[in-house]
């Protein structure tokens, strides 16, 4: 088996787990970690037995990786991914792929030009419950998601639409095979300069609908998706990786009986599944399950939602000033 030399650029809260997991994947060799905070880079690199770098160019020149995970702040995704791809290095970039659709398009074109793999880190696609649900969910006409939790100052460069909602947008797009025809969005800033609460409704050409609620200022934590089909409702818990299927069956006497099913399936670490998939795609030259086109499409919808949120906010402010 060919060994893929891989590195991690950005070893903060999530990036350090990328580094750890790569050391656990057969056929992957972690050859270094990069962080602008030299002390942080050294702290992560030392127990893993790899070199630490504070500059991506130095890392690319000296470590010569085949592939990298990019886990830097969203505002630096484009420049960091571009630097690696221009050298022919395969890239997994965390979501959202970039801060603008134009930058995502440029990365798409660069991936084609350089013939490199460009995977977007929509980790929930590799959640065991989501993967299992996709095996039997065929005709959803309504999907409702709630992704809420307490406030954390760790994410401060984007709001909940690009930080949280984009996960659910990506999953919904992968489950509803129809063109999107309308978006309706509202949101509010509570504790930061970005939206901390947002709600979006998506309508599709085939009649399907989706309702997404995200919040980072809620007391309790919930990560759940409810998929309604003609004959059943499937509930997916992202956090516990559990599925509940609710069906109503009509008995011979005409009465209706509610049946609850709890499918049993293997549960795995989503990040490990995601990175294993990336390494396999690099080794075998295959396109990833979540490629740049998927990342770009989810970003386009989130950007459109953000535009509505900001317009609604501006209109509200104008109305108040006129009163």
Whether 111 is in a domain gets the answer yes
Tens-digit pLDDT profile for residues 81-90? 999 999 999 9
Tens-digit pLDDT profile for residues 162-209? 999 999 999 999 999 999 999 999 999 998 889 999 999 999 999 999
> For position 107, which CATH number holds?
3.40.50.720
CA distance 72 to 93: 9
Whether 38 is in a domain gets the answer yes
Whether 9 is in a domain gets the answer yes
Structural tokens at position 162: 């690009």
Whether 323 is in a domain gets the answer no
Instruction: Give the CA-trace dihedral at 208, 302, 300, 75, to 10 degrees.
Output: -160
- Find out whether 289 and 166 touch, Cβ atoms under 8 Å: no
Whether 200 is in a domain gets the answer no
Backbone angles phi, psi at 108, to 5 degrees: -60, -50
CA distance 119 to 289: 8
Domain count, the chain: 1
In this prediction, residue 155 carries a pLDDT of 67
CA pseudo-torsion sign 30, 31, 34, 39: positive
* Residue 320 pLDDT class (50, 70, 90 cuts): very low
Strand partners, 143: 210, 227
Mean pLDDT of 267-287: 97
Tens-digit pLDDT profile for residues 113-168? 999 999 999 999 999 999 999 999 999 999 999 999 998 877 667 899 999 999 99
In this prediction, residue 1 carries a pLDDT of 73
- Find out whether 67 and 4 touch, Cβ atoms under 8 Å: yes
Whether 222 is in a domain gets the answer no
* Residue 313 pLDDT class (50, 70, 90 cuts): low
Tens-digit pLDDT profile for residues 258-270? 899 999 999 999 9
CA distance 270 to 265: 14
In this prediction, residue 114 carries a pLDDT of 97
Helix, strand, coil shares, percent, the chain, to 5:
40, 30, 35
CA distance 224 to 64: 41
**Residue range of the domain that includes 23:** 4-124+271-291
Residues with Cβ within 8 Å of 140's Cβ and at least 6 positions away in sequence, in order, are 175, 176, 208, 227, 228, 229
Whether 12 is in a domain gets the answer yes
Residue for token digits 């959640």? Answer: 127
Whether 261 is in a domain gets the answer no
């Amino acid at each position: 088996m060919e060994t893929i030399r891989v590195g991690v650029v950005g070893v903060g809260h999530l990036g350090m787990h990328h580094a750890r997991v790569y050391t656990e994947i057969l056929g992957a060799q972690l050859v270094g970690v990069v962080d602008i905070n030299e002390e942080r880079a050294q702290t992560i690199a030392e127990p893993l037995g790899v070199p630490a770098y504070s500059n991506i160019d130095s890392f690319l020149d000296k470590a010569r990786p085949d592939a990298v995970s990019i886990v830097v702040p969203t505002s630096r995704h484009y420049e960091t991914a571009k630097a690696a791809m221009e050298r022919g290095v395969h890239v997994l970039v965390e979501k959202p792929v970039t801060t603008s659709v134009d930058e995502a398009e440029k990365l798409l074109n660069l991936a084609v030009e350089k013939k490199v793999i460009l995977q977007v880190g929509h980790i929930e696609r590799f959640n065991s419950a989501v993967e299992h649900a996709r095996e039997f969910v065929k005709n959803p006409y309504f999907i409702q998601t709630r992704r809420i939790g307490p406030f954390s100052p760790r994410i401060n460069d984007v709001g909940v639409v690009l930080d949280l909602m984009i996960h659910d947008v990506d999953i919904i797009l992968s489950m509803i095979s129809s063109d999107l025809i309308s978006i309706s969005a509202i949101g509010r800033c509570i504790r930061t300069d970005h939206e901390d609460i947002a709600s979006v409704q998506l309508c599709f050409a085939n009649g399907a609908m989706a309702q997404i609620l995200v919040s980072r200022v809620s007391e309790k934590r919930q990560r759940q998706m409810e998929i309604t089909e003609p004959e059943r409702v499937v509930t997916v818990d992202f956090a516990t990786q559990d599925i509940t299927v609710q069906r109503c069956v009509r008995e011979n006497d005409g009465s209706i009986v509610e049946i609850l099913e709890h499918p049993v399936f293997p549960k795995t670490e989503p990040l490990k599944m995601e990175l294993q998939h990336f390494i396999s795609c690099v080794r075998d030259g295959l396109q990833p399950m979540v490629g740049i086109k998927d990342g770009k499409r989810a970003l386009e919808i989130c950007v459109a939602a953000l535009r509505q949120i900001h317009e609604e906010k501006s209109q509200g402010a104008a109305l108040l000033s006129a009163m």
